[in-house]
A and B are shown apart, each in its own frame.
Chain A
Amino acid sequence: MAEVEAFKIRRKEEKKRSARMEDFLFTLKLIFHNRIAFAGLVITLAYFIIAIIDYADPRWLGVSNLSDALAFLHGKAYYPSATLVTPPTLAHGWYYWLGTTEYGIPILPDMLAALKVDLTLSVEIVLSGALIGLILGTVSAYYGGLIDEAMMRITDIFFSIPALILALAIAFIIGLTFTNIALAFIIVWWPIYARLGRSLTLSIKNMNFIEAANAAGSSSARNIFYHVIPGVLSPLFVQFSLDIGTVVQLFAALEFLGVVPVDPFLPELGRMMVWGETYLIYGKWWAVIIPAIFLMIFTISVSLLGDGLRDVLDPRQRR
């Protein structure tokens, strides 16, 4: 008897899983049919795969950085001069396809190495911000009342200062280092998700299935984590994908302003642009424009993917 019961339960779970799988495959199919979103997906994945390969073993990319360049230059009479900044060329192998920047560092491998740092940073920032915001937003909206009101006033305060300036002020107080600025960005980033999560929760919490869950004796915490949050996730994911590109840009901007200490040994897109800017007036455009375009392609593809996801995950369009 017990075996039959267990079989039934397993069967049920399998059915549920296959329904989920079908749902997921359907989403993929929709994305595949939306050609622009698909292109965005492919490019974004390529960027992330490069970063992951770099995590696995940097040698696979043949990545060069400042220490490599200095080791290469060791023993030669060395001056950090504009002569080491050479234009894009096909002559010396793929390392030098996109030219070199300061200290003779080849741009292409440096950019590939930079993805590891930049993408990790932006995913860390946006993910932490999203998690904090999601939990605070849904919980406050679910319980309502005084908590909700207080929550809204707090997010209001955060929204009343431009994000870049608030992040700078917070980072200034906790100390201007690379990590602290990431922390400051997390502090600045969560209110967006709290607002979004709140408004979505408000629309979900009075629906029938929540009432049914209540009637079945589900606790508030269970309601929030099993019923509300899954319903809130997909619009949040869209915002998430849009923010990942923005954070890399903001970081680059802060480095450009000279408030983040630039670590020459850390391959990073913002640092590359800051270095390249010095050579722009000598007509050596590639040192800044190429990293900028590399970043631009990422931001564009991520936002195309986000737009596509918004269409695909919208239940009105799925029917």
Chain B
Amino acid sequence: MELRYFIIRRILLLIPTLIGLTLLTFILVRALPTSLLLSQYVNPHSTLPRSVQIAHAKALLGLNYPVPVQYFFYLSALFHGEWGFMVSNFYTGPVLTGIEEFFPNTLQLTIFAVILSIIISIPLGTYIGSRPNSVADHAGRIFSLAVYAMPAFVLALVLQIVLGRGAITGNPLGVFPISGTFNYALVPFPVPSWLTSPNTSALVSHPTHLIIFDALIHHNYAIAYSGLLHIVLPVITLTLGILAGIVRFLRAGMMDNMRQEYVKTARAKGVPENVIIKRHIRKNALIPTVTVLGLLFASLLGGVVLIEDVFDYPGMGLLGINAITSYSIYGVMGVTLVFGLVLVFANLIVDVVYAFLDPRIRY
């Protein structure tokens, strides 16, 4: 099968998954008692009688229809961008607008973490894997186990104490800020229009909602630099969380491939050792590693919720947590749905990359 057809087939397989995903969030919403759903639409201060308000809300939510029909209403609302409304201390407004404002931050953290972990883990895994049972190997294994076993938020707290500015007074290593997206003191007095949002107390920048890029676009280099400093610690924490997994798999793959016949052949014909390791063994060892990337990305998305909470980084995680603590059903479901969509598409990319690297699985 050509790669093209594989991709088309894979995208078609996406449809049942997406239907299931929306079905799951729909079932979760409908699992709530109807009165609880309706209570959000009843205004005790209104002059309209309560029964009329309830009837209106029922008609609005389509609760008079059978449940399967309601699912289609739900889908149509999703497609029309009506993801509901949420009220919380952190953000108040339409859920979709909130996701639009805070999702870029989360995406930025995860993408930086993925890139950084790949940059670090591939040379590290190659080095460790090509020297099994050496000191570096044992050190690497112990380190990866320790990082794997440490709760993510404790790791974040430790990093804040060791590298965070102001966490401990007089710490020479304390360079990096420990909370927020950038230093608010740098905001010029009449707050520029690109830095304000009507819905949230956090300063949200426009047009990309990523403070680093927006500040660069608007030529405010101090803010851009501050934004860059602020993502260092969260990204390091996230990176450490998935680094261990990649290194472990790469090491196992390297050791598996070391014993293969083709390596002997390459040695016999006199290929230099580092070329064997880099070009022959590592390329083959990377193939199974790509498959775990999807799983690791899922754990990364779970971890980002914690990390955003510790570092007070306004992203999807904080939005979700605030939606939960302020009992905003639609906020919770919107965030869940978006995380699900991200994971589904990440898995799609991983599968396509895997098929590209290893033609065997296309058949």
Interface residues of A (CB under 8 A from B): 153-154, 156-157, 159-166, 168-170, 172-174, 176, 245, 249, 252-253, 256-259, 273, 277, 280-281, 283, 285, 288-289, 292, 295-297, 299-300, 303-304
Residue of A153, A162, A253 with most partner-chain B CB within 10 A: A162
A176 to B32, CA, bound (A): 13
List chain B residues, Cβ under 8 A from A289.
154, 158
Cross-chain contact B305 with A164 (CB below 8 angstroms) = yes
List chain A residues, Cβ under 8 A from B212.
none
Within 314-334 of B, Cβ neighbours of A (below 8 Å) are at 320-321, 324-325, 329, 332-333
Cross-chain contact A161 with B153 (CB below 8 angstroms) = no
Q: Is B17 an interface residue (CB 8 A)?
A: yes
Cross-chain contact B151 with A257 (CB below 8 angstroms) = no
Proximity bits, B328-359, A CB within 8 Å = 1, else 0: 01001101100110011001000000000000
- The chain B residue sitting closest to A254, CB to CB, is B306
Cross-chain contact A280 with B21 (CB below 8 angstroms) = no
Q: Is B167 an interface residue (CB 8 A)?
A: yes
Q: Is B116 an interface residue (CB 8 A)?
A: no
List chain A residues, Cβ under 8 A from B321.
257-259
Q: List 24 A-B contacts (CB under 8 A).
A: A160-B343, A161-B336, A162-B298, A164-B303, A165-B302, A168-B336, A169-B336, A172-B324, A174-B31, A245-B149, A252-B153, A253-B152, A258-B325, A259-B324, A273-B153, A281-B167, A283-B168, A288-B157, A289-B158, A296-B146, A297-B149, A299-B149, A300-B146, A303-B148
Q: Which of A256, A280, A303 contacts B149 (CB 8 A)?
A: A303
List chain B residues, Cβ under 8 A from A170.
28
- The chain B residue sitting closest to A291, CB to CB, is B154
A235 to B254, CA, bound (A): 23
List chain A residues, Cβ under 8 A from B29.
173
List chain B residues, Cβ under 8 A from A252.
151, 153
Q: Is B271 an interface residue (CB 8 A)?
A: no
The answer to whether residues A160 and B340 also contact, given A176-B324, A252-B151, A273-B154 and a CB cut-off of 8 A, is yes
The answer to whether residues A161 and B343 also contact, given A153-B20, A166-B336, A253-B153 and a CB cut-off of 8 A, is yes
The answer to whether residues A280 and B161 also contact, given A300-B149, A303-B149 and a CB cut-off of 8 A, is yes
Within 143-170 of B, Cβ neighbours of A (below 8 Å) are at 145-146, 148-154, 157-158, 161, 167-168
Chain B: how many interface residues by the 8 Å CB criterion?
Answer: 47
Q: Is B43 an interface residue (CB 8 A)?
A: no
Cross-chain contact B17 with A156 (CB below 8 angstroms) = yes
Cross-chain contact A257 with B157 (CB below 8 angstroms) = no
Task: Output the least CB separation between A48 and chain B (Å).
Answer: 17
- The chain A residue sitting closest to B316, CB to CB, is A165
A53 to B259, CA, bound (A): 48
Cross-chain contact B298 with A163 (CB below 8 angstroms) = yes
List chain A residues, Cβ under 8 A from B153.
252-253, 256, 273
Residue of B31, B154, B158, B168 with most partner-chain A CB within 10 A: B154
Prevailing SS type, chain A contact patch:
helix
Cross-chain contact B161 with A157 (CB below 8 angstroms) = no
List chain B residues, Cβ under 8 A from A168.
320, 324, 332, 336
Q: Which of A160, A249, A257, A281 contacts B21 (CB 8 A)?
A: A160
Cross-chain contact A295 with B151 (CB below 8 angstroms) = yes
Cross-chain contact A173 with B32 (CB below 8 angstroms) = yes
Q: Is B223 an interface residue (CB 8 A)?
A: no
Cross-chain contact B20 with A273 (CB below 8 angstroms) = no
Q: Which of B21, B145, B299 contacts A157 (CB 8 A)?
A: B21
- The chain B residue sitting closest to A170, CB to CB, is B28
Cross-chain contact B320 with A162 (CB below 8 angstroms) = no
A170 to B23, CA, bound (A): 14
Cross-chain contact B336 with A165 (CB below 8 angstroms) = yes
- The chain B residue sitting closest to A274, CB to CB, is B153
A292 to B158, CA, bound (A): 11
Task: Output the least CB separation between B237 and chain A (Å).
Answer: 13
List chain A residues, Cβ under 8 A from B137.
none
- The chain A residue sitting closest to B24, CB to CB, is A157
A86 to B338, CA, bound (A): 45
List chain A residues, Cβ under 8 A from B332.
168-169, 172
List chain B residues, Cβ under 8 A from A299.
148-149
List chain A residues, Cβ under 8 A from B301.
162, 165
List chain B residues, Cβ under 8 A from A245.
149
List chain A residues, Cβ under 8 A from B25.
169
9 pairs of A and B residues whose beta carbons are closest in the complex: A164-B302, A157-B20, A299-B149, A292-B154, A162-B302, A161-B340, A162-B301, A169-B336, A296-B149
Task: Output the least CB separation between B303 and chain A (Å).
Answer: 8
- The chain A residue sitting closest to B150, CB to CB, is A296
Cross-chain contact A161 with B24 (CB below 8 angstroms) = yes
Cross-chain contact B161 with A285 (CB below 8 angstroms) = yes
Q: Is B68 an interface residue (CB 8 A)?
A: no
Given contacts A253-B153, A296-B150, 6 further A-B contacts (CB under 8 A): A160-B20, A160-B21, A257-B305, A289-B158, A296-B149, A299-B149
- The chain B residue sitting closest to A171, CB to CB, is B324
Residue of B161, B302, B303 with most partner-chain A CB within 10 A: B302
Task: Output the least CB separation between B18 and chain A (Å).
Answer: 8
The answer to whether residues A157 and B17 also contact, given A165-B336, A257-B306, A280-B161 and a CB cut-off of 8 A, is yes
List chain A residues, Cβ under 8 A from B24.
157, 161
A300 to B146, CA, bound (A): 7
- The chain A residue sitting closest to B327, CB to CB, is A172
List chain A residues, Cβ under 8 A from B333.
169
Task: Output the least CB separation between A296 and chain B (Å).
Answer: 4
Q: Is B309 an interface residue (CB 8 A)?
A: yes
Cross-chain contact B306 with A300 (CB below 8 angstroms) = no
List chain B residues, Cβ under 8 A from A253.
151-153, 306
Cross-chain contact A303 with B145 (CB below 8 angstroms) = yes
Cross-chain contact B299 with A162 (CB below 8 angstroms) = yes
- The chain B residue sitting closest to A298, CB to CB, is B149
Cross-chain contact A173 with B28 (CB below 8 angstroms) = yes
Task: Output the least CB separation between A150 and chain B (Å).
Answer: 10
- The chain A residue sitting closest to B158, CB to CB, is A289
A273 to B306, CA, bound (A): 14
Q: Is B16 an interface residue (CB 8 A)?
A: yes
- The chain A residue sitting closest to B309, CB to CB, is A257
